[in-house]
Amino acid sequence: LVIVLDFGGQYNQLVARRVRECSVYCEIYSYKTGLEKIKGMNPKGIILTGGPSSCYEEDSARYPRELFELGIPVLGLCYGAQLMMHELGGKVERAAVREYGKTEVLIDRADSKVFRGVQEKTVCWMSHFDYISQTAPGFEVTAHTADCPVAAAEDESRKLYAIQFHPEVLHTAEGTKMINNFVKHVCGCGGNWKMDTFVENSIREIRAKVGKGKVLCALSGGVDSSVAAVMLSKAIGSQLTCVFVDHGLLRKNEGDEVEAVFGPEGPYDLNFIRVNAQERFYDRLAGIEEPEEKRKIIGEEFIRVFEEEAKKIGAVDFLVQGTIYPDVVESGLGGESAVIKSHHNVGGLPDYVDFKEIIEPLRDLFKDEVRKAGLEMGIPEKLVFRQPFPGPGLGIRIIGEITAEKVKIVQDADAIYREEMDAAGMKATVGQYFAALTNMRSVGVMGDERTYDYAVALRAVNTIDFMTAEAAEVPYAVLNKVMSRIINEVRGVNRVMYDLTSKPPGTIEFE
Ligand code: XMP
Protein backbone atom coordinates (compact mmCIF):
# COMPACT_ATOMS: atom_id res chain seq x y z
CA LEU A 1 0.00 0.00 0.00
CA VAL A 2 1.10 3.50 -0.88
CA ILE A 3 -0.72 6.37 0.82
CA VAL A 4 -1.49 9.58 -1.05
CA LEU A 5 -1.86 12.34 1.53
CA ASP A 6 -4.11 14.96 0.05
CA PHE A 7 -3.40 18.61 0.78
CA GLY A 8 -6.31 19.83 -1.32
CA GLY A 9 -4.59 19.75 -4.70
CA GLN A 10 -6.67 19.51 -7.82
CA TYR A 11 -4.65 16.53 -9.04
CA ASN A 12 -5.12 14.28 -5.99
CA GLN A 13 -6.97 11.56 -7.89
CA LEU A 14 -4.48 11.72 -10.75
CA VAL A 15 -1.62 10.97 -8.37
CA ALA A 16 -3.43 7.88 -7.14
CA ARG A 17 -4.28 6.77 -10.65
CA ARG A 18 -0.67 7.03 -11.78
CA VAL A 19 0.43 4.89 -8.84
CA ARG A 20 -2.21 2.30 -9.68
CA GLU A 21 -1.06 2.33 -13.30
CA CYS A 22 2.27 1.06 -11.95
CA SER A 23 0.30 -1.90 -10.56
CA VAL A 24 0.75 -0.63 -7.03
CA TYR A 25 -2.28 -0.27 -4.79
CA CYS A 26 -2.80 3.12 -3.16
CA GLU A 27 -5.43 5.03 -1.26
CA ILE A 28 -6.06 8.74 -0.77
CA TYR A 29 -6.36 10.23 2.71
CA SER A 30 -6.80 13.76 3.92
CA TYR A 31 -3.76 15.47 5.44
CA LYS A 32 -5.83 15.63 8.62
CA THR A 33 -5.48 11.87 9.07
CA GLY A 34 -3.56 11.20 12.27
CA LEU A 35 -0.03 9.82 12.29
CA GLU A 36 -1.03 6.74 14.31
CA LYS A 37 -3.62 5.76 11.72
CA ILE A 38 -1.08 6.19 8.93
CA LYS A 39 1.47 4.10 10.80
CA GLY A 40 -1.18 1.47 11.48
CA MET A 41 -1.76 0.97 7.77
CA ASN A 42 1.89 0.11 7.38
CA PRO A 43 2.39 1.82 4.01
CA LYS A 44 5.45 1.17 1.88
CA GLY A 45 5.49 4.79 0.79
CA ILE A 46 3.72 8.10 1.22
CA ILE A 47 3.10 10.74 -1.43
CA LEU A 48 2.17 14.29 -0.42
CA THR A 49 0.08 16.07 -3.05
CA GLY A 50 0.01 19.69 -4.09
CA GLY A 51 -2.37 22.10 -2.47
CA PRO A 52 -3.51 25.71 -2.41
CA SER A 53 -1.77 26.82 0.84
CA SER A 54 1.55 28.55 1.44
CA CYS A 55 3.42 26.57 4.06
CA TYR A 56 4.92 29.66 5.75
CA GLU A 57 1.46 31.02 6.58
CA GLU A 58 -0.20 30.54 9.96
CA ASP A 59 -3.21 28.43 9.07
CA SER A 60 -1.68 26.44 6.22
CA ALA A 61 -2.27 22.70 5.79
CA ARG A 62 0.51 21.00 7.75
CA TYR A 63 1.65 17.61 8.84
CA PRO A 64 3.69 16.85 11.97
CA ARG A 65 7.40 16.54 11.32
CA GLU A 66 7.36 12.96 12.66
CA LEU A 67 5.90 11.86 9.35
CA PHE A 68 9.35 12.31 7.87
CA GLU A 69 11.00 10.35 10.66
CA LEU A 70 9.11 7.07 10.32
CA GLY A 71 11.67 5.60 7.96
CA ILE A 72 8.91 5.27 5.34
CA PRO A 73 9.86 6.80 1.98
CA VAL A 74 8.08 10.10 1.35
CA LEU A 75 7.67 11.88 -1.98
CA GLY A 76 6.42 15.46 -1.80
CA LEU A 77 4.90 16.98 -4.93
CA CYS A 78 4.62 20.75 -5.40
CA TYR A 79 3.11 21.98 -2.11
CA GLY A 80 4.06 18.62 -0.61
CA ALA A 81 7.69 19.26 -1.59
CA GLN A 82 7.62 22.76 -0.09
CA LEU A 83 6.07 21.47 3.12
CA MET A 84 8.76 18.81 3.43
CA MET A 85 11.49 21.45 3.10
CA HIS A 86 9.75 23.87 5.44
CA GLU A 87 9.23 21.27 8.17
CA LEU A 88 12.79 19.98 7.95
CA GLY A 89 14.54 23.33 8.12
CA GLY A 90 14.66 24.57 4.53
CA LYS A 91 13.19 27.81 3.24
CA VAL A 92 10.13 28.46 1.07
CA GLU A 93 9.35 31.91 -0.31
CA ARG A 94 7.06 33.67 -2.73
CA ALA A 95 8.73 33.74 -6.17
CA ALA A 96 9.06 36.85 -8.28
CA VAL A 97 7.59 35.02 -11.27
CA ARG A 98 4.97 32.37 -11.22
CA GLU A 99 6.02 29.25 -13.07
CA TYR A 100 3.06 27.79 -14.90
CA GLY A 101 2.70 25.28 -17.71
CA LYS A 102 5.15 23.12 -19.64
CA THR A 103 8.65 23.87 -18.47
CA GLU A 104 12.02 22.41 -19.36
CA VAL A 105 13.59 20.76 -16.35
CA LEU A 106 17.29 19.95 -16.20
CA ILE A 107 18.17 16.85 -14.22
CA ASP A 108 21.35 17.43 -12.21
CA ARG A 109 21.66 13.96 -10.74
CA ALA A 110 21.11 11.24 -13.32
CA ASP A 111 21.88 8.67 -10.61
CA SER A 112 18.88 9.75 -8.50
CA LYS A 113 16.59 6.78 -8.00
CA VAL A 114 13.47 8.72 -8.98
CA PHE A 115 15.05 9.99 -12.19
CA ARG A 116 16.35 6.61 -13.33
CA GLY A 117 16.05 6.44 -17.12
CA VAL A 118 14.81 10.05 -17.38
CA GLN A 119 16.41 12.30 -20.01
CA GLU A 120 18.76 15.05 -18.92
CA LYS A 121 16.39 17.71 -20.26
CA THR A 122 12.77 16.81 -19.79
CA VAL A 123 9.45 18.65 -20.14
CA CYS A 124 7.45 18.92 -16.92
CA TRP A 125 4.25 20.58 -15.78
CA MET A 126 4.82 23.41 -13.33
CA SER A 127 2.18 25.30 -11.37
CA HIS A 128 3.49 27.28 -8.40
CA PHE A 129 3.86 30.73 -6.84
CA ASP A 130 6.05 29.73 -3.93
CA TYR A 131 9.43 28.15 -4.42
CA ILE A 132 12.07 26.39 -2.38
CA SER A 133 14.81 28.98 -1.93
CA GLN A 134 16.91 26.82 0.33
CA THR A 135 16.87 23.06 0.79
CA ALA A 136 16.70 21.53 4.24
CA PRO A 137 19.90 20.15 5.82
CA GLY A 138 20.87 16.80 4.35
CA PHE A 139 19.12 17.43 1.02
CA GLU A 140 20.80 17.67 -2.33
CA VAL A 141 19.36 19.45 -5.37
CA THR A 142 18.68 16.93 -8.12
CA ALA A 143 16.97 19.11 -10.76
CA HIS A 144 16.42 22.79 -11.63
CA THR A 145 14.81 25.02 -14.24
CA ALA A 146 15.69 28.47 -15.58
CA ASP A 147 13.49 30.15 -12.94
CA CYS A 148 13.51 27.60 -10.18
CA PRO A 149 16.76 26.62 -8.44
CA VAL A 150 15.17 23.60 -6.74
CA ALA A 151 12.90 21.71 -9.15
CA ALA A 152 13.74 18.54 -7.21
CA ALA A 153 15.78 17.62 -4.15
CA GLU A 154 16.35 14.50 -2.11
CA ASP A 155 17.93 13.01 0.95
CA GLU A 156 18.55 9.46 -0.17
CA SER A 157 19.68 8.26 3.24
CA ARG A 158 16.33 9.24 4.80
CA LYS A 159 14.39 8.29 1.64
CA LEU A 160 12.86 11.74 1.34
CA TYR A 161 12.15 13.12 -2.12
CA ALA A 162 10.81 16.53 -3.11
CA ILE A 163 9.60 17.41 -6.60
CA GLN A 164 8.36 20.92 -7.35
CA PHE A 165 6.59 20.02 -10.61
CA HIS A 166 3.68 17.64 -11.21
CA PRO A 167 4.77 14.19 -12.46
CA GLU A 168 1.14 13.00 -12.21
CA VAL A 169 0.00 15.33 -15.01
CA LEU A 170 0.27 13.90 -18.52
CA HIS A 171 2.05 17.06 -19.75
CA THR A 172 5.03 15.88 -17.72
CA ALA A 173 6.49 13.70 -20.44
CA GLU A 174 8.32 11.26 -18.16
CA GLY A 175 6.12 11.68 -15.09
CA THR A 176 4.81 8.14 -14.94
CA LYS A 177 8.38 6.88 -15.12
CA MET A 178 9.30 9.03 -12.09
CA ILE A 179 6.34 7.79 -10.07
CA ASN A 180 7.09 4.23 -11.11
CA ASN A 181 10.72 4.74 -10.01
CA PHE A 182 9.59 6.03 -6.62
CA VAL A 183 7.13 3.25 -5.85
CA LYS A 184 9.27 0.43 -7.25
CA HIS A 185 12.89 1.46 -6.64
CA VAL A 186 12.55 3.63 -3.55
CA CYS A 187 9.56 2.04 -1.77
CA GLY A 188 10.30 -1.45 -3.08
CA CYS A 189 6.71 -2.18 -4.12
CA GLY A 190 6.47 -5.32 -6.19
CA GLY A 191 3.72 -4.13 -8.53
CA ASN A 192 1.30 -6.97 -7.83
CA TRP A 193 -1.92 -4.94 -7.95
CA LYS A 194 -3.55 -6.65 -10.90
CA MET A 195 -7.16 -6.82 -11.93
CA ASP A 196 -7.30 -10.58 -12.15
CA THR A 197 -6.22 -10.95 -8.54
CA PHE A 198 -8.56 -8.15 -7.48
CA VAL A 199 -11.50 -9.88 -9.14
CA GLU A 200 -10.55 -13.27 -7.70
CA ASN A 201 -10.11 -11.90 -4.18
CA SER A 202 -13.29 -9.86 -4.32
CA ILE A 203 -15.33 -12.87 -5.39
CA ARG A 204 -13.88 -14.90 -2.54
CA GLU A 205 -14.56 -12.11 -0.02
CA ILE A 206 -18.14 -11.63 -1.22
CA ARG A 207 -18.78 -15.35 -0.90
CA ALA A 208 -17.47 -15.39 2.64
CA LYS A 209 -19.42 -12.30 3.62
CA VAL A 210 -22.76 -13.25 2.08
CA GLY A 211 -22.81 -16.89 3.10
CA LYS A 212 -26.29 -18.15 2.34
CA GLY A 213 -27.78 -14.64 2.42
CA LYS A 214 -30.01 -13.00 -0.17
CA VAL A 215 -28.73 -10.05 -2.19
CA LEU A 216 -30.58 -7.40 -4.18
CA CYS A 217 -29.07 -5.24 -6.90
CA ALA A 218 -30.56 -2.33 -8.86
CA LEU A 219 -29.17 -2.73 -12.34
CA SER A 220 -29.16 0.31 -14.63
CA GLY A 221 -27.22 -1.16 -17.50
CA GLY A 222 -24.46 1.37 -16.88
CA VAL A 223 -20.86 0.24 -16.49
CA ASP A 224 -20.63 0.34 -12.70
CA SER A 225 -23.82 -1.48 -11.82
CA SER A 226 -23.21 -4.06 -14.56
CA VAL A 227 -19.72 -4.89 -13.36
CA ALA A 228 -20.91 -5.05 -9.75
CA ALA A 229 -23.79 -7.36 -10.71
CA VAL A 230 -21.55 -9.74 -12.64
CA MET A 231 -19.08 -9.90 -9.78
CA LEU A 232 -21.89 -10.76 -7.38
CA SER A 233 -23.34 -13.34 -9.71
CA LYS A 234 -19.95 -15.01 -10.06
CA ALA A 235 -19.66 -15.10 -6.30
CA ILE A 236 -23.13 -16.18 -5.24
CA GLY A 237 -25.11 -16.95 -8.40
CA SER A 238 -28.83 -17.30 -7.85
CA GLN A 239 -28.79 -15.89 -4.33
CA LEU A 240 -28.67 -12.60 -6.26
CA THR A 241 -31.70 -10.81 -7.67
CA CYS A 242 -31.19 -7.95 -10.12
CA VAL A 243 -33.99 -5.51 -10.76
CA PHE A 244 -33.77 -3.53 -13.97
CA VAL A 245 -36.28 -0.72 -14.33
CA ASP A 246 -36.90 0.25 -17.95
CA HIS A 247 -38.26 3.78 -17.66
CA GLY A 248 -38.73 4.15 -21.39
CA LEU A 249 -36.04 6.81 -21.54
CA LEU A 250 -33.15 4.56 -22.48
CA ARG A 251 -31.24 4.64 -25.74
CA LYS A 252 -32.55 2.65 -28.67
CA ASN A 253 -32.66 -1.11 -27.94
CA GLU A 254 -30.79 -0.59 -24.69
CA GLY A 255 -33.37 -2.36 -22.54
CA ASP A 256 -33.19 -5.43 -24.75
CA GLU A 257 -29.40 -5.34 -24.76
CA VAL A 258 -29.29 -5.32 -20.98
CA GLU A 259 -31.78 -8.18 -20.89
CA ALA A 260 -29.77 -10.18 -23.41
CA VAL A 261 -26.73 -10.04 -21.14
CA PHE A 262 -28.38 -10.42 -17.74
CA GLY A 263 -31.65 -12.15 -18.53
CA PRO A 264 -32.35 -15.90 -18.56
CA GLU A 265 -30.88 -16.26 -22.07
CA GLY A 266 -27.61 -14.66 -20.98
CA PRO A 267 -24.52 -16.30 -19.52
CA TYR A 268 -25.15 -15.42 -15.87
CA ASP A 269 -27.03 -17.38 -13.30
CA LEU A 270 -29.03 -14.75 -11.48
CA ASN A 271 -32.64 -13.77 -10.97
CA PHE A 272 -33.17 -10.98 -13.45
CA ILE A 273 -36.33 -8.95 -13.21
CA ARG A 274 -37.10 -6.43 -15.93
CA VAL A 275 -39.83 -3.97 -15.08
CA ASN A 276 -41.31 -2.35 -18.14
CA ALA A 277 -42.54 0.87 -16.64
CA GLN A 278 -42.54 3.06 -19.75
CA GLU A 279 -46.23 3.94 -19.61
CA ARG A 280 -46.07 4.89 -15.96
CA PHE A 281 -43.21 7.28 -16.60
CA TYR A 282 -44.78 8.83 -19.69
CA ASP A 283 -48.06 9.33 -17.82
CA ARG A 284 -46.41 11.07 -14.93
CA LEU A 285 -44.33 13.23 -17.25
CA ALA A 286 -47.21 14.34 -19.46
CA GLY A 287 -47.38 18.12 -19.70
CA ILE A 288 -44.20 18.70 -17.66
CA GLU A 289 -41.65 21.00 -19.30
CA GLU A 290 -39.40 22.26 -16.55
CA PRO A 291 -36.06 20.34 -16.48
CA GLU A 292 -35.65 20.03 -12.72
CA GLU A 293 -39.25 18.96 -12.32
CA LYS A 294 -38.74 16.27 -14.94
CA ARG A 295 -35.62 15.06 -13.15
CA LYS A 296 -37.49 14.94 -9.86
CA ILE A 297 -40.42 13.00 -11.27
CA ILE A 298 -38.16 10.47 -13.00
CA GLY A 299 -36.14 9.99 -9.81
CA GLU A 300 -39.19 9.58 -7.60
CA GLU A 301 -40.97 7.26 -9.96
CA PHE A 302 -37.84 5.16 -10.27
CA ILE A 303 -37.71 4.71 -6.54
CA ARG A 304 -41.40 3.88 -6.38
CA VAL A 305 -41.12 1.17 -9.04
CA PHE A 306 -38.03 -0.29 -7.41
CA GLU A 307 -39.72 -0.23 -4.03
CA GLU A 308 -42.70 -2.18 -5.33
CA GLU A 309 -40.38 -4.85 -6.72
CA ALA A 310 -38.35 -4.96 -3.53
CA LYS A 311 -41.55 -5.51 -1.54
CA LYS A 312 -42.41 -8.50 -3.71
CA ILE A 313 -38.98 -9.96 -3.04
CA GLY A 314 -39.25 -9.32 0.69
CA ALA A 315 -36.44 -8.87 3.16
CA VAL A 316 -32.91 -9.29 1.83
CA ASP A 317 -29.61 -9.45 3.65
CA PHE A 318 -27.57 -7.23 1.39
CA LEU A 319 -28.10 -4.43 -1.09
CA VAL A 320 -25.48 -3.91 -3.83
CA GLN A 321 -24.32 -0.44 -4.80
CA GLY A 322 -22.03 0.38 -7.70
CA THR A 323 -20.12 3.09 -5.81
CA ILE A 324 -16.64 3.64 -7.25
CA TYR A 325 -13.57 5.31 -5.79
CA PRO A 326 -14.09 8.80 -7.25
CA ASP A 327 -17.57 8.79 -5.63
CA VAL A 328 -15.93 8.00 -2.31
CA VAL A 329 -13.31 10.72 -2.72
CA GLU A 330 -15.78 13.29 -4.04
CA SER A 331 -18.19 12.72 -1.23
CA GLY A 332 -15.41 13.89 1.07
CA LEU A 333 -14.61 10.49 2.60
CA GLY A 334 -11.32 9.87 0.88
CA GLY A 335 -9.21 12.91 0.27
CA GLU A 336 -9.38 16.56 1.09
CA SER A 337 -11.05 18.26 -1.87
CA ALA A 338 -14.75 17.60 -1.62
CA VAL A 339 -16.28 18.30 -5.01
CA ILE A 340 -19.80 17.12 -4.60
CA LYS A 341 -21.70 16.76 -7.83
CA SER A 342 -25.31 17.73 -7.68
CA HIS A 343 -26.50 14.96 -9.92
CA HIS A 344 -25.30 11.82 -8.29
CA ASN A 345 -27.52 8.82 -8.60
CA VAL A 346 -26.46 7.51 -5.22
CA GLY A 347 -28.54 8.16 -2.17
CA GLY A 348 -32.17 7.45 -1.49
CA LEU A 349 -32.14 3.77 -2.37
CA PRO A 350 -31.24 2.23 0.98
CA ASP A 351 -34.05 3.97 2.89
CA TYR A 352 -36.92 1.97 1.54
CA VAL A 353 -35.49 -1.48 0.95
CA ASP A 354 -35.55 -3.94 3.82
CA PHE A 355 -31.90 -4.96 4.02
CA LYS A 356 -29.18 -5.40 6.62
CA GLU A 357 -26.01 -4.26 4.95
CA ILE A 358 -24.68 -2.64 1.80
CA ILE A 359 -22.10 -4.31 -0.43
CA GLU A 360 -19.96 -2.02 -2.59
CA PRO A 361 -17.59 -4.31 -4.48
CA LEU A 362 -16.11 -1.51 -6.65
CA ARG A 363 -15.56 0.99 -3.88
CA ASP A 364 -11.78 0.96 -4.30
CA LEU A 365 -11.63 1.20 -8.08
CA PHE A 366 -11.22 4.03 -10.54
CA LYS A 367 -13.42 3.99 -13.64
CA ASP A 368 -10.73 2.56 -15.91
CA GLU A 369 -10.12 -0.18 -13.36
CA VAL A 370 -13.85 -0.96 -13.21
CA ARG A 371 -13.70 -1.42 -16.97
CA LYS A 372 -10.66 -3.68 -16.68
CA ALA A 373 -12.42 -5.75 -14.04
CA GLY A 374 -15.43 -6.01 -16.34
CA LEU A 375 -13.31 -7.24 -19.25
CA GLU A 376 -11.53 -9.64 -16.90
CA MET A 377 -14.89 -11.20 -16.06
CA GLY A 378 -15.86 -11.49 -19.70
CA ILE A 379 -18.51 -8.74 -19.89
CA PRO A 380 -19.01 -7.69 -23.53
CA GLU A 381 -16.87 -4.71 -24.58
CA LYS A 382 -19.92 -2.89 -25.78
CA LEU A 383 -21.21 -2.75 -22.23
CA VAL A 384 -17.87 -2.15 -20.59
CA PHE A 385 -17.00 0.86 -22.75
CA ARG A 386 -20.40 2.43 -22.60
CA GLN A 387 -20.43 6.24 -22.45
CA PRO A 388 -21.76 7.96 -19.37
CA PHE A 389 -25.53 8.12 -19.55
CA PRO A 390 -27.54 10.28 -17.16
CA GLY A 391 -29.95 8.66 -14.73
CA PRO A 392 -32.96 10.56 -16.13
CA GLY A 393 -31.89 9.32 -19.55
CA LEU A 394 -33.44 10.76 -22.66
CA GLY A 395 -35.80 12.68 -20.40
CA ILE A 396 -33.21 15.46 -20.24
CA ARG A 397 -32.33 15.14 -23.94
CA ILE A 398 -35.82 16.05 -25.02
CA ILE A 399 -36.32 19.73 -24.43
CA GLY A 400 -39.76 20.49 -23.07
CA GLU A 401 -42.53 17.97 -22.71
CA ILE A 402 -41.74 14.27 -23.08
CA THR A 403 -43.97 12.09 -25.23
CA ALA A 404 -43.58 8.55 -26.54
CA GLU A 405 -43.35 9.97 -30.07
CA LYS A 406 -40.50 12.31 -29.13
CA VAL A 407 -38.65 9.51 -27.36
CA LYS A 408 -38.81 7.44 -30.53
CA ILE A 409 -37.45 10.34 -32.63
CA VAL A 410 -34.51 11.02 -30.36
CA GLN A 411 -33.74 7.30 -30.00
CA ASP A 412 -33.61 6.82 -33.76
CA ALA A 413 -31.58 9.97 -34.40
CA ASP A 414 -29.15 9.11 -31.61
CA ALA A 415 -28.68 5.55 -32.88
CA ILE A 416 -27.74 6.86 -36.34
CA TYR A 417 -25.36 9.41 -34.85
CA ARG A 418 -23.65 6.82 -32.69
CA GLU A 419 -23.41 4.34 -35.51
CA GLU A 420 -21.69 6.86 -37.80
CA MET A 421 -19.39 8.16 -35.07
CA ASP A 422 -18.33 4.61 -34.26
CA ALA A 423 -17.79 3.82 -37.93
CA ALA A 424 -15.61 6.93 -38.27
CA GLY A 425 -13.48 5.82 -35.33
CA MET A 426 -14.57 8.75 -33.17
CA LYS A 427 -15.50 6.56 -30.23
CA ALA A 428 -11.99 6.40 -28.89
CA THR A 429 -11.28 10.11 -29.19
CA VAL A 430 -14.51 11.84 -28.13
CA GLY A 431 -15.60 11.80 -24.50
CA GLN A 432 -19.36 11.84 -24.83
CA TYR A 433 -21.69 12.29 -27.78
CA PHE A 434 -25.43 12.07 -28.29
CA ALA A 435 -28.38 13.50 -30.15
CA ALA A 436 -31.00 15.63 -28.42
CA LEU A 437 -34.40 16.77 -29.56
CA THR A 438 -34.97 20.51 -29.41
CA ASN A 439 -38.55 21.68 -29.10
CA MET A 440 -38.07 23.96 -32.05
CA ARG A 441 -40.13 23.21 -35.11
CA SER A 442 -39.40 24.89 -38.38
CA VAL A 443 -40.51 24.94 -41.98
CA GLY A 444 -38.75 22.84 -44.56
CA VAL A 445 -39.39 21.33 -47.93
CA MET A 446 -39.17 17.66 -48.79
CA GLY A 447 -40.21 16.13 -52.10
CA ASP A 448 -41.98 19.33 -53.14
CA GLU A 449 -43.96 19.35 -49.94
CA ARG A 450 -43.85 21.78 -47.11
CA THR A 451 -42.80 20.24 -43.79
CA TYR A 452 -43.11 21.61 -40.30
CA ASP A 453 -40.93 19.37 -38.15
CA TYR A 454 -38.50 19.18 -35.25
CA ALA A 455 -34.82 20.07 -35.18
CA VAL A 456 -32.34 17.55 -33.78
CA ALA A 457 -29.20 18.84 -32.10
CA LEU A 458 -25.98 16.83 -32.17
CA ARG A 459 -23.57 17.17 -29.28
CA ALA A 460 -20.03 15.83 -28.94
CA VAL A 461 -17.68 16.96 -26.20
CA ASN A 462 -14.21 16.31 -24.93
CA THR A 463 -13.78 16.49 -21.22
CA ILE A 464 -11.49 15.25 -18.50
CA ASP A 465 -13.76 15.46 -15.50
CA PHE A 466 -17.19 16.44 -16.89
CA MET A 467 -16.97 19.69 -14.93
CA THR A 468 -15.65 21.53 -17.97
CA ALA A 469 -15.86 20.48 -21.60
CA GLU A 470 -15.21 21.60 -25.14
CA ALA A 471 -17.15 20.78 -28.27
CA ALA A 472 -15.25 18.11 -30.20
CA GLU A 473 -14.03 18.71 -33.74
CA VAL A 474 -16.09 16.14 -35.56
CA PRO A 475 -15.13 15.95 -39.26
CA TYR A 476 -17.59 17.75 -41.49
CA ALA A 477 -18.06 14.69 -43.67
CA VAL A 478 -19.23 12.68 -40.66
CA LEU A 479 -21.68 15.38 -39.56
CA ASN A 480 -22.96 15.70 -43.09
CA LYS A 481 -23.64 12.00 -43.38
CA VAL A 482 -25.38 11.91 -40.02
CA MET A 483 -27.52 14.89 -41.04
CA SER A 484 -28.59 13.30 -44.28
CA ARG A 485 -29.36 9.93 -42.68
CA ILE A 486 -31.39 11.47 -39.87
CA ILE A 487 -33.47 13.59 -42.26
CA ASN A 488 -34.07 10.61 -44.54
CA GLU A 489 -34.63 7.92 -41.93
CA VAL A 490 -36.28 9.62 -38.97
CA ARG A 491 -39.82 10.80 -39.46
CA GLY A 492 -40.65 14.10 -37.82
CA VAL A 493 -37.22 15.73 -38.25
CA ASN A 494 -36.35 18.25 -40.97
CA ARG A 495 -33.31 20.02 -39.50
CA VAL A 496 -30.07 18.88 -37.85
CA MET A 497 -27.74 21.20 -35.95
CA TYR A 498 -24.35 20.78 -34.28
CA ASP A 499 -23.86 22.38 -30.86
CA LEU A 500 -20.55 24.24 -30.60
CA THR A 501 -20.96 25.49 -27.05
CA SER A 502 -18.35 24.63 -24.45
CA LYS A 503 -19.00 24.13 -20.74
CA PRO A 504 -19.13 26.68 -19.22
CA PRO A 505 -21.19 28.54 -20.35
CA GLY A 506 -23.24 25.59 -21.61
CA THR A 507 -23.65 22.26 -19.88
CA ILE A 508 -23.04 18.92 -21.56
CA GLU A 509 -26.67 17.90 -21.47
CA PHE A 510 -29.32 20.30 -22.74
CA GLU A 511 -31.34 20.37 -19.56
P1 XMP B 1 -23.85 18.48 -17.42
O2 XMP B 1 -25.07 18.50 -18.28
O3 XMP B 1 -24.15 18.82 -15.99
O4 XMP B 1 -23.35 16.97 -17.42
O5 XMP B 1 -22.74 19.30 -17.99
C6 XMP B 1 -22.17 16.50 -16.84
C7 XMP B 1 -22.18 14.98 -16.85
O8 XMP B 1 -23.20 14.50 -15.96
C9 XMP B 1 -24.20 13.76 -16.66
N10 XMP B 1 -25.50 14.20 -16.12
C11 XMP B 1 -26.26 13.46 -15.28
N12 XMP B 1 -26.05 12.24 -14.75
N13 XMP B 1 -28.13 12.41 -13.62
C14 XMP B 1 -27.01 11.72 -13.93
O15 XMP B 1 -26.86 10.59 -13.46
C16 XMP B 1 -28.41 13.65 -14.10
O17 XMP B 1 -29.44 14.24 -13.80
C18 XMP B 1 -27.40 14.19 -14.99
N19 XMP B 1 -27.31 15.39 -15.66
C20 XMP B 1 -26.13 15.35 -16.34
C21 XMP B 1 -24.01 14.12 -18.12
O22 XMP B 1 -24.42 13.05 -18.97
C23 XMP B 1 -22.53 14.38 -18.21
O24 XMP B 1 -21.79 13.18 -18.36
- The tens digit of pLDDT for each residue in 164-194 reads 999 999 889 999 999 999 999 999 999 999 9
111 is in an annotated binding site: no
Q: Is the peptide bond before 504 cis (omega within 30 degrees of 0)?
A: yes
Residue 334 pLDDT exceeds 90: no
Instruction: Write the DSSP assignment of 43-107 as a string of letters.
Output: -SEEEE---S--TTSTT-----GGGGGSSS-EEEETHHHHHHHHHTT-EEEEEEEEEEEEEEEEE
pLDDT value of residue 349: 52
Residue 33 pLDDT exceeds 60: yes
pLDDT band at residue 468 using 50, 70 and 90 as cut-offs:
confident
Residue 269 pLDDT exceeds 90: no
pLDDT value of residue 431: 87
Q: Can you give the pTM of this predicted structure?
A: 0.81
Average pLDDT, integer, range 137-154 = 97
Asked if 357 is an active-site residue, the reply is no
Task: Give the model confidence (pLDDT) of 85-125 as tens digits.
Answer: 999 999 999 998 889 999 999 999 999 999 999 999 999 99
**Which ligand 1 atom minimizes the distance to the CA of 295?**
17
For the chain, give the percent of residues with pLDDT over 90: 81
> Going by DSSP bridges, is the β-strand pair 271-276/318-320 parallel, antiparallel, or unpaired?
unpaired
Architecture of domain 2-186: 3-Layer(aba) Sandwich (3.40)
**Which ligand 1 atom minimizes the distance to the CA of 507?**
5
pLDDT value of residue 504: 87
202 is in an annotated binding site: no
**Which ligand 1 atom minimizes the distance to the CA of 389?**
22
pLDDT value of residue 355: 86
Architecture of domain 403-498: 2-Layer Sandwich (3.30)
**Closest Cα to atom 12 of ligand 1:** 390
**Closest Cα to atom 19 of ligand 1:** 390
Ligand 1: which residues within 6 Å by Cβ?
295, 343, 345, 388, 390-392, 396, 432, 466, 503, 507-509
**CA 1 to centroid of ligand 1, rounded, Å:** 33
Q: Same topology for domains 2-186 and 403-498, yes or no?
A: no
Tell me which of 78 and 465 has the higher pLDDT.
78
Average pLDDT, the chain: 92
pLDDT value of residue 335: 60
**CA 59 to centroid of ligand 1, rounded, Å:** 36
Domain 195-384 has CATH 3.40.50.620: yes
Q: What is the DSSP letter of 294?
A: H
* Dist. CA 136–CA 124, nearest whole Å: 23
From residue 151, give the alpha-carbon distance in Å to each of 53, 120, 143, 148, 475. 18, 13, 5, 6, 42
Among 466, 467, 470, 511, residue to substitute to test ligand 1 (most atoms within 8 Å of Cβ): 466
pLDDT value of residue 340: 34
**Which ligand 1 atom minimizes the distance to the CA of 510?**
2
Asked if 405 is an active-site residue, the reply is no
Domain locations along the chain: 2-186, 195-384, 403-498
Average pLDDT, integer, range 21-26 = 94
| Sheet with 152-155, edge to edge strand ranges | 26-30, 2-6, 45-48, 74-77, 160-163, 152-155, 140-144, 91-107, 121-134
pLDDT value of residue 341: 34
Asked if 78 is an active-site residue, the reply is yes
